């Protein structure tokens, strides 16, 4: 399950489509002064096609225009589909009122945004201890409900119409006097996106008895009544009185009178939670060109169904260089000149108000017509990231990018070298782009210098990384889906050049140096030390060591005294020795640090373990305040709580100071080169940025583990929402850390296990994981100590491990290989793949072209140097490039470009 946290809504620039009502009128009579100062925003794939794309009949406002459009001698006519992301707003509503017979009560939960909504719910009993759910009684379950293990029920919401004709989705639960139920717990899930909606980062809870009133995640607790004592507080008394009446006949009449009195005092409630959802809206633009036989001029007609004001930013070119120019007059009405480089024309509204159009008269001798559509300062619609290009000669070859189905929207313009686009962005962004260009020029300037070239390039590349991350941060609020162009990806980098902690040199190959059983010998450091030379000779550049700190759990992931490095893997001296040995072998060393939680050494006055000892002797202020298990006095968690141990409150200055100092101490004392960071989804990525800037690691990677999207047990093809959450975390660190590409691992599982290799290409022909969007920050892997080893929580499909390694060791990103696979019968095959990667200088930013993604085979060409295929199907690389065999195994094969 993944959750979406409620945050104050940023002021995003989005357009309201008249084709979808952003406010529902059907629920207003139930409102009781609901606070609307917070909104939830989550990503959604394109499930909501309010109007499917179609070829629109071109309508003219004059006879001349109709003749231009409908003439049979038009030599170019094409309709391009457009997609733009809009934010639609609505509410999740929770209502308690009388049922149909006016005796029982009815809980209604619903949402007025479109989606495949599921109520995931359960109950708590009066005598329950903790936060566990139970399944409700059978008679409470609405039709269509299914059991989820033994603790919850999932019930689909049904589509309904309000009296005003608005569509909404709801489910009703009958609350019958059948037992002492303390509360109804639930979360709302949109199965189309895999998104879960919670209340203030926790489950919704509708209390039915008074003692739950103090819980922070309850709904219906504070209304316009004088005192609220639980939604069904009187009803719970009714139940107890009813039970007592069976054993006390003498008092039955008194109980009856009390029952009536309690029943009359019962009050219902209605509460709404605002929700905002980003969806893809389908539009289109049609272009038609006809040559006037009398004047030899071209008439070009543009029509779109996009509502509202649309500006076309346009120009012409005279030859194959396609350089933008301003054509000779006349120009259409409402046209202005933009920086002597292009023209901007406001399109005219069509009759009936649905869309707009423009007619352009173009002089003879022009080669082509360039344009992009401008909706506002932040939203430009282009063709596959490029300008639309329309040929103005009937003999011209139509470019591939003007074909049907290739258009897409970009929430910000793509920035090319042409000056005509520079003015389309804010002054701040222009400054960033100019700085990047200047830095790139500096790289060229120092290329020929023999002295200090590496140092200069290193400094410049570090600045480029920072500027790229800054630019991405600026626009993130207006970009619903990360675009691979958002971060500058560069040509080959020299292995000796350090870039930043998020990438290392860009050529890193990571080895996980332990498994779940490594702690058993008590001398793992000494055992691993003996393998340092062997791992280095295989081509690994980084070794990931297990957690070094003394821990409640022997594996090290429940740390106590952070400065005590006597773990089950060895003591501090042995740790220093193994680090020194790997350094001597030319490898960097990562320490596994647990920053999210820390086990306490002492109990507070209530017997709760939340007081710490050792050098960092924190009190309960260091523990988050919204986890009832550990009764912390800190602020609310900035992420998802890990319930097995006290979650650390990173918003406390003293906590962050101590963690910074601890990491710097580890860097100096142990000489770690970087970090693998455990369970980073438990707190805000901005704190990671602070810790990394303080400790200055060579390389850092975070474990942001999250569930992928499934429908009825089958993995969805589109996992954009999943990888988006990992991207968002990386961006919160300002790009200072990479993240394990859990998305790619999950998709490889389904592709290989089910022989569905088409899954390895997304809708844009890119790799479908994080590696397809931000490859330099994606650490790819197929197994680790949790998923494999003796735990086997999510084991890679058996017998297909080498297909997985053929994928990650030839593709961009930073590959990580599991210890158990290295020292097994896979060793020689893994070594051969690493050799291919190193020989051809494949790195985290290498380009990739997917050449085949079908049921039984996937193939790609990486960096124009390596070709790979996995799957039982046939593939051989073709084209003008000559290829030579490199290595192969069961259902995979790799080629290298012949020199």
Is 70 exceeded by the pLDDT of residue 71?
no
Instruction: With cut-offs at 50, 70 and 90, classify the pLDDT of residue 760.
Output: very high
Q: Is residue 496 part of a domain?
A: no
Dihedral sign, Cα of residue 216, residue 222, residue 226, residue 227: negative
Residue 443 above 60 pLDDT? no
> Is residue 361 scored above 60 in pLDDT?
yes
Whether residues 564 and 680 share a domain: the answer is yes
In the prediction, which pLDDT does 54 show? 39
Give the pairing type, strands 699-702 and 674-678: parallel
What is the pLDDT averaged over residues 217-237?
A: 46
Whether omega for the bond prior to residue 330 falls within 30 degrees of 0, making it cis, is: yes
Lowest mean pLDDT, pick from 21-25, 87-91, 301-305, 334-338: 21-25
Judge if 334 and 435 occupy the same domain.
Answer: no
How much is the mean pLDDT over the chain?
78
pLDDT(372) > 50: yes
Whether residue 350 sits in one domain with residue 299: yes
On whether both 448 and 417 belong to a single domain, the answer is no
* Residue 163 within a domain: yes
Q: How far is CA 142 from the centre of its chain?
A: 33
Q: Is the pLDDT of residue 715 over 60?
A: yes
Does 189 score more than 50 pLDDT?
Answer: yes
Residues 6+ away with beta carbon under 8 Å from 278: 41, 42, 43, 44, 85, 86, 87, 88, 480
Which has the higher per-residue pLDDT, 196 or 844?
844
Are 415 and 451 in the same domain?
Answer: no
Phi and psi at residue 556, in whole multiples of 5°? 105, 0
- Give bridge partners of residue 111 from the DSSP assignment: 92, 169
Band of pLDDT at residue 197, cut at 50, 70 and 90: confident
Asked whether residue 622 is domain-assigned, the answer is no
3-class DSSP state of 352 = coil
* 165: in domain: yes
Q: In this structure, are residues 287 and 78 in contact, taking their beta carbons and an 8 Å threshold?
A: yes
Do 687 and 763 lie in one domain? The reply is: yes
pLDDT of residue 208: 76
Q: Is the pLDDT of residue 116 over 70?
A: yes
Check whether residue 588 and residue 711 sit in a common domain: yes
Confirm whether 856 is a catalytic residue: no
CATH number of residue 778's parent domain: 3.20.20.80
Residue 247 predicted with pLDDT over 50: no
Judgement on whether residues 731 and 824 belong to the same structural domain of the protein: yes
Of 486, 501, 530, the last residue of a domain is 486
Backbone angles phi, psi at 124, to 5 degrees: -120, 140
Residue 744 predicted with pLDDT over 70: yes
Is the pLDDT score of 834 beyond 90?
yes
Reported as a pLDDT band with limits 50, 70 and 90, residue 194 is: low
**More reliable by pLDDT, 525 or 409:** 525
pLDDT for 627 equals 86
Domains: count for the chain: 4
Most confident listed range (253-262, 435-444, 482-491) = 435-444
First to last CA, the chain: 49
CA pair distance 410, 486, nearest whole angstrom: 11
Residues β-bridged to residue 739: 702, 778
Decide if 375 is inside a domain: yes
Output the pLDDT for position 190.
80
Percentage of residues of the chain with pLDDT beyond 90: 49
Q: Is 261 left (phi over 0), alpha (psi -120 to 50) or beta?
A: alpha
Q: What is the pLDDT of residue 210?
A: 61
Write down which residue in 829, 845, 861 finishes a domain: 845
Reported as a single tens digit per residue, the pLDDT across 532-562 is 999 999 999 999 999 999 999 999 999 999 9
- What pLDDT is stored for residue 445 in this prediction? 53
CA of 425: how far to CAs of 309, 441, 779, 845, in Å?
Answer: 18, 22, 33, 26
Question: Residue 461 has what pLDDT?
Answer: 62
- The pLDDT of residue 262 is above 70: no
CA distance 119 to 662: 44
- How are beta strands 158-161 and 167-175 bridged, if at all? antiparallel
Q: Which domain holds residue 459?
A: 427-486
Which one from 703, 706, 756, 820 is the annotated catalytic residue?
703
- Give the confidence band of 430 by pLDDT, cuts at 50, 70, 90: low
Has residue 350 got a pLDDT over 60? yes
Question: 243 lies in a domain?
Answer: yes
Contacts of 607 (CB under 8 A, 6+ apart): none
* Stronger pLDDT, 194 or 237, i.e. the higher one: 194
Place of tokens 């301003």: 326
Residue 267 neighbours by CB distance under 10 Å? 16
856 falls within a domain: no
So what's the pLDDT on residue 169?
A: 93
Q: Are 594 and 557 in contact (CB under 8 A)?
A: yes
E strand segments, 294-410: 298-304, 311-317, 335-338, 342-346, 348-349, 356-362, 368-376, 379-382, 388-391, 408-410
**71-75, 147-151, 198-202: which has the highest mean pLDDT?**
147-151
Q: Check residue 201 and give its pLDDT.
A: 62
Q: What integer is the mean pLDDT of 764-778?
A: 95
pLDDT tens across 27-56, in order? 333 333 333 334 443 433 333 333 333 334
Per-residue pLDDT band at 286 (split at 50, 70, 90): very high
Minimum mean pLDDT range among 79-93, 154-168, 361-375, 708-722? 79-93
The reply to whether 315 and 331 lie within a common domain is yes
Instruction: Summarize pLDDT for 793-808 with one digit per residue, the tens.
Output: 899 999 999 999 999 9
Q: What is the pLDDT averaged over residues 643-647? A: 91
Distance of CA 298 to the CA centre of its chain: 46
Is 712's pLDDT higher than 90? no
Indicate if 530 and 545 belong to the same structural domain. yes
Q: d(Cα 662, Cα 660) in Å, to the nearest integer?
A: 5
With respect to residue 388, please indicate whether it lies within any of the assigned structural domains.
yes
572 and 676, same domain (yes or no): yes
To the query of whether residue 465 is one of the catalytic residues in this protein, the response is: no
133 pLDDT tier (thresholds 50, 70, 90)? confident
* Residues 432, 410 share a domain: no
Which of 190, 191, 678, 829 is an active site residue? 678
């Amino acid at each position: 399950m993944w959750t979406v946290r409620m945050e104050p809504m940023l002021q995003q620039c989005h357009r309201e489509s008249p084709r979808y009502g952003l406010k529902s009128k059907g629920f207003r009579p139930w409102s009781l002064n609901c606070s609307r100062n917070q909104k939830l925003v989550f990503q959604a794939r394109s499930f909501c096609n309010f109007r499917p794309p179609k070829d629109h009949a071109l309508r003219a406002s004059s006879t001349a225009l109709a003749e231009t459009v409908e003439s049979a001698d038009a030599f170019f006519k094409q309709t391009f589909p457009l997609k733009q992301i809009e934010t639609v707003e609505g509410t999740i509503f929770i209502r308690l009122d009388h049922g149909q017979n006016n005796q029982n009560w009815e809980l209604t939960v619903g949402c007025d945004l479109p989606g495949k909504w599921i109520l995931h719910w359960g109950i708590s009993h009066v005598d329950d201890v903790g936060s566990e759910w139970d399944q409700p009684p059978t008679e409470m379950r609405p039709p269509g409900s299914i059991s989820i293990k033994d603790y919850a029920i999932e019930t689909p919401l049904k589509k309904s119409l309000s009296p005003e004709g608005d569509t909404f989705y709801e489910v009703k639960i009958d609350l019958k006097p059948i037992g002492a139920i303390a509360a109804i717990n639930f979360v709302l899930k949109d199965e189309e996106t895999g998104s879960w909606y919670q209340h203030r980062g926790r489950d919704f809870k509708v209390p039915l008895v008074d003692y739950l009133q103090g819980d922070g995640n309850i709904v219906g607790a504070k209304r316009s009544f004088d005192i609220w004592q639980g939604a069904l507080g009187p009803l719970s008394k009714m139940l107890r009185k009813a039970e007592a009446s069976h054993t006390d006949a003498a008092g039955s009449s008194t109980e009856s009178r009390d029952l009536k009195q309690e029943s009359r005092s019962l009050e219902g409630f209605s509460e709404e939670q605002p929700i905002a959802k980003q969806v893809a809206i389908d539009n289109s633009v049609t272009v038609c060109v006809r040559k006037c036989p009398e004047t030899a001029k071209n008439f070009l007609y543009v029509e779109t169904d996009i509502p509202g004001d649309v500006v076309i930013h346009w120009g012409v070119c005279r030859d194959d260089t396609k350089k933008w120019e301003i054509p000779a007059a006349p120009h259409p009405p409402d046209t202005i000149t933009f920086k002597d480089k292009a023209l901007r024309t406001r399109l005219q509204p069509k009759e009936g108000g649905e869309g707009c159009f423009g007619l352009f008269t173009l002089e003879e001798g022009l080669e082509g017509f360039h344009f992009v559509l401008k909706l506002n300062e932040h939203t430009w619609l282009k063709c596959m990231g490029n300008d639309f290009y329309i040929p103005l000669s009937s003999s011209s070859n139509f470019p591939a990018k003007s074909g049907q189905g290739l258009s897409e929207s970009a929430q910000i313009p793509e920035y090319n070298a042409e000056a005509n686009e520079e003015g389309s962005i804010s002054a701040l962004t222009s400054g960033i782009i100019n700085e990047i260009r200047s830095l790139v020029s500096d790289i060229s300037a120092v290329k020929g210098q023999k002295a200090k070239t590496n140092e200069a390039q290193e400094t410049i590349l570090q600045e480029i990384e920072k500027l790229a991350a800054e630019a991405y941060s600026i626009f993130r609020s207006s970009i619903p889906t990360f675009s691979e162009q958002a971060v500058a990806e560069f040509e080959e980098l020299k292995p000796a050049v350090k870039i930043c902690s998020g990438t290392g040199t860009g050529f890193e190959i990571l080895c996980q140096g332990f498994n779940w059983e490594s702690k058993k010998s008590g001398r793992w450091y000494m055992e691993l030390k003996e393998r340092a030379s062997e791992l280095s000779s295989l081509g690994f550049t980084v070794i990931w060591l297990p957690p070094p700190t003394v821990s409640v759990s022997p594996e090290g992931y429940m740390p106590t005294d952070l400065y005590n490095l006597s773990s089950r893997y060895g003591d501090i001296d042995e740790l220093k020795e193994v680090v020194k040995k790997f350094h001597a072998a030319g490898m960097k060393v990562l320490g596994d640090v647990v920053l999210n939680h820390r086990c306490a050494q002492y109990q507070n006055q209530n017997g709760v373990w939340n007081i710490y000892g050792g050098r960092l002797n924190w009190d309960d202020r260091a523990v988050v305040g919204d986890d009832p298990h550990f009764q912390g006095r800190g602020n609310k968690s900035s992420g998802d709580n890990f319930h097995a141990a006290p979650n650390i409150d990173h918003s406390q200055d003293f906590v962050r100071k101590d963690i910074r100092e601890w990491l710097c101490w580890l860097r100096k004392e142990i000489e770690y080169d970087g970090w693998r960071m455990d369970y980073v989804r438990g707190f805000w990525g901005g704190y990671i940025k602070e810790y990394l800037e303080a400790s200055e690691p060579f390389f850092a990677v975070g474990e942001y583990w999250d569930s992928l999207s499934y429908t009825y047990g089958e993995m969805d093809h589109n996992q954009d929402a999943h990888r988006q959450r990992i991207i968002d975390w990386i961006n919160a660190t300002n790009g200072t850390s990479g993240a394990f590409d859990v998305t790619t691992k999950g998709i490889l599982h389904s592709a290989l296990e089910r022989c569905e290799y088409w899954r390895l290409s997304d809708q844009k022909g890119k790799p479908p994981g994080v590696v397809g969007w931000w490859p330099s920050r994606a650490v790819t892997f197929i197994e680790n100590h949790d998923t494999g080893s003796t735990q086997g929580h999510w084991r890679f499909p058996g017998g297909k491990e080498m297909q997985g390694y053929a994928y990650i060791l030839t593709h961009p990103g930073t590959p990580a290989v599991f210890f158990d696979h290295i020292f097994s019968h896979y060793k020689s095959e893994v070594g051969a793949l690493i050799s291919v990667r190193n020989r051809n200088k494949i790195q985290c930013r290498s380009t990739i072209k997917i050449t085949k993604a079908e049921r039984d085979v996937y193939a790609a060409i990486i960096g124009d140097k390596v070709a790979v295929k996995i799957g039982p199907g046939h593939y051989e690389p073709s084209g003008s490039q000559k290829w030579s065999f490199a290595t192969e195994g069961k259902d995979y094969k790799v080629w290298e470009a012949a020199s």
